[in-house]
Chains A and B, each alone.
Chain A
Amino acid sequence: MNRKMLRLAASLVASAVSALALEGCPPCGPTDAQAIGEWSFEHCSDASCGFTVESGSTRVTATFHPGEHGLDLAPGTSIVAPVSVAASTLYGMPFVKLLARCDAGSSLSVELGATSTARDAAPDAGTTGEVETLRGTITTTTTWALANQAFVSTGQVRRLNSVRVIAAGAGHCQIDQLEVSVNFYGFCE
């Protein structure tokens, strides 16, 4: 590498450092993920494992091993469960992790019931706002696969109220290891 190239590289690095110093670093991005609802479907006392069945039917089923259980959703089933979260701590983007498989021709969707404030509201604006439903489609195959779905609000999600899983199509779907989390965003001082 000749001297000219070295000088060019050094000036590029110096420019990048200067830009960061002048700009600061917001947004700092996700700093932590907090699980606010988890369902492993083990040791269930009923066929819906604590979910409310709004339509269709469910049953506890074996997954990759008879001792590892998930929830089978019949075609057209919709189940819902409340999400408990300390509302004052919630400020970030919700997402859902889910192990799932569906028979061919079937699919899964997940809805989060949320309370949101305006996008430009201050971080300490409280948890009152409009109730909205955040929707996401889980991509499934006929074999078990882990899905990770982020949910985008028109405003700022301040509170999560419920999680709903819907099986559509003519076949069955199975779910396991359902986890609702929030990525908290960090702000530079």
Chain B
Amino acid sequence: MSKRTLLSLALASWGAFALPDEALAQTRQAPVSDDPRASLGILVGVSSVHGGQYETTASQWGYGTFGGALTLAVEGGAWVTPWLSLGGRLGMLRASSDATPTDGARLALASYDLGAYARLGGVLGHRRVRGFLGVQLEGGVQWASIDLRSESTSEATARFAVAGVGQVIVGPVAFGLRVGPRFGSWAGAGGAGADLDLGGIEFSTGVEVRP
């Protein structure tokens, strides 16, 4: 068999294998990108507020614990690598203590935070409906205030949080759950030694657009 014949057979066999793949690729749906460039989302949730020594101090006046809080946040970020997103968030938290028996007044806690986040994780699956699992680290500042009988006291403090992130991604939209601890302390909120522990466990759900 001459060299020319061998070359012809080789080219023919490559074509026989390559042609069906090419045809199949044309009939397949357009591939979904696993590498979004940005994300923009909104989250709502519930959270505990540890309270700390401030709650102990307030209990002497008959105020109960802050109990559960409501949280709301908007976030936006950019994916700098397929597994790392950097962004910023704007959030708020509202909680209220149990009433004092004196006159039924309550301590109303509000916190507004501005910070940055880093999200690490990976997309699972390659179909149109995929999953995302990761962890998000947050750091920033929060402005916390406590209102009582139309009087208010406030303070800016640091805020940190860690959260596990789980999402279901349908096309460019991600629906997710997030849970993790939040850290922060307002030193001397109720006088010397009566620090308000702004930490707690947050559980939130949200929707995110990933264009």
Q: For the complex, count residues of A whose C-beta is within 8 A of B.
A: 18
- Indicate whether A42 sits within 8 Å of B102 (C-beta atoms), given known contacts A65-B146, A67-B149: yes
Residues of B within 8 A of A65 (CB): 58, 107, 146, 148, 151, 153, 190
Q: What's the dominant secondary structure at chain B's contact region?
A: loop
Residues of A within 8 A of B102 (CB): 40, 42, 177
Residues of A within 8 A of B58 (CB): 64-65
Query: B150 in the interface, Cβ–Cβ < 8 Å?
Result: yes
Query: B152 in the interface, Cβ–Cβ < 8 Å?
Result: yes
Q: Are B149 and A99 in contact (CB under 8 A)?
A: no
In the complex, A74 Cα to B150 Cα: how many Å? 27
Query: B57 in the interface, Cβ–Cβ < 8 Å?
Result: yes
How far, in Å, is B167 (CB) from chain A's closest CB? 41
Query: B6 in the interface, Cβ–Cβ < 8 Å?
Result: no
Residues of B within 8 A of A176 (CB): 61
Q: For the complex, count residues of B whose C-beta is within 8 A of A.
A: 23
- Indicate whether A67 sits within 8 Å of B61 (C-beta atoms), given known contacts A143-B191, A143-B192: no
Q: Are B151 and A66 in contact (CB under 8 A)?
A: yes
Q: Are A64 and B105 in contact (CB under 8 A)?
A: no
How far, in Å, is A93 (CB) from chain B's closest CB? 23
Q: Which of A43, A62, A64, A143 has the most CB of B within 10 A?
A: A64
Residues of B within 8 A of A67 (CB): 105, 147-152
Residues of A within 8 A of B152 (CB): 66-67
* Contact of B103 (CB < 8 Å), options: A42, A64, A143: A42
Query: B194 in the interface, Cβ–Cβ < 8 Å?
Result: yes
Pairs across A and B, CB under 8 Å, 25 listed: A40-B103, A42-B103, A62-B151, A63-B61, A64-B54, A64-B57, A64-B58, A64-B61, A64-B190, A64-B191, A65-B58, A65-B146, A65-B148, A66-B148, A66-B151, A66-B153, A67-B149, A99-B61, A142-B192, A143-B191, A143-B192, A144-B57, A177-B61, A177-B62, A177-B102
